[in-house]
Each structure stands twice: as C-alpha cells, then as structure tokens.
C-alpha cells in the first residue's frame, strides 16, 4: 500500500460536503465545521483491506480515527508538544515506508502506553490548578 494521493480519492464533491453550524454567542456569531465520516476517513487515510478470511475485509488507516484518538493518552483536548512529536515521528515513518496502515484495535494498542502518563499529568494539573 502506498501513501494516498489526491488522485486516489474518488467520488463526487457532493459525497464529501460537511455540515456547517452557525451559532450566536454573547460575543457575536460563530461558525463550526463538522466533518462528515467520509471526510474523516479521507484525512485518516482509511483503506478497505482484504483479509485471509473469505469475503471479509478490514478497515485500516494511516492515522488513528477520532474514536481511537479521543480515548488515547495523547488526547488532552488540545495539541501538545508531545502530540506534535508523536505526529512528526509517525509521519516520518509513513513517508519512509516504515509503517503500514493499522486496524482500529492495533491503533488502540499502539497508543495505549500514553494513557497512564496523561492520566497522572491531568490529575496533578486539576489538583494544583
């Protein structure tokens, strides 16, 4: 499998249109763009891969899906230096051909070790501040 390119993305533009919410706040009007599942799959580099079992496929991605990222230890609800370091390291591996897309469970396992460190940090942060 290669790294996805814009030419490898198919389908009509209408298949990939997101929802935009406009809301009022005391400070003025705001707008939020909510990604569709199709957009998330494209961003994460989702592939449907054949398995060794007849007529079964597995979903694999170059990057963890939000359902995995949201429960991993790197997720502190904002982008940290640790997140950026992990991203840059993984990107370098992808570009060098050193990794392959992973299934959701493999992403959970790969990111699990971060959870205990983040939990301790958040507990300390919440206690002190």
pLDDT of residue 117: 55
Q: Encode burial over 56-74: b for 16+ CB neighbours within 10 A, e otherwise.
A: eebebbbbbbeebeeebbb
The region of weakest confidence among 15-19, 20-24, 95-99, 108-112 is 15-19
Q: Cβ(103)–Cβ(60) under 8 Å?
A: yes
2-16, 29-43, 53-67, 109-123: which is most confident: 53-67
Q: Which two tokens stand for residue 101?
A: 């897309």
Instruction: Check the CA dihedral 91-96-99-102 and report its sign.
Output: positive
Radius of gyration of the CA atoms of the chain, in A: 18
pLDDT of residue 90: 95
pLDDT of residue 34: 77
Alpha carbons 118 and 129: distance in angstroms, whole number: 16
Per-residue pLDDT of 28-75, as tens digits, reads 777 667 788 888 999 999 999 888 888 888 899 999 999 999 888 888
């Amino acid at each position: 499998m290669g790294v996805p390119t814009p030419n490898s993305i198919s389908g009509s533009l209408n298949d990939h249109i997101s929802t935009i919410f406009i809301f009022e706040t005391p400070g003025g009007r705001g707008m939020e763009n909510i990604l569709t599942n199709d957009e998330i799959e494209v961003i994460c580099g989702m592939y449907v891969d054949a398995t060794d079992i007849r007529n079964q496929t597995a979903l694999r991605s170059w990057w963890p899906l939000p359902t995995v990222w949201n429960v991993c230890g790197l997720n502190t609800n904002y982008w940290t230096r640790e997140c950026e370091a992990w991203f840059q390291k993984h990107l370098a591996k992808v570009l060098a051909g050193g990794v392959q897309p992973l299934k959701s469970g493999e992403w959970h396992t790969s990111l699990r070790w971060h959870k205990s460190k983040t939990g301790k940090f958040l507990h300390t942060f919440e206690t002190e501040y």
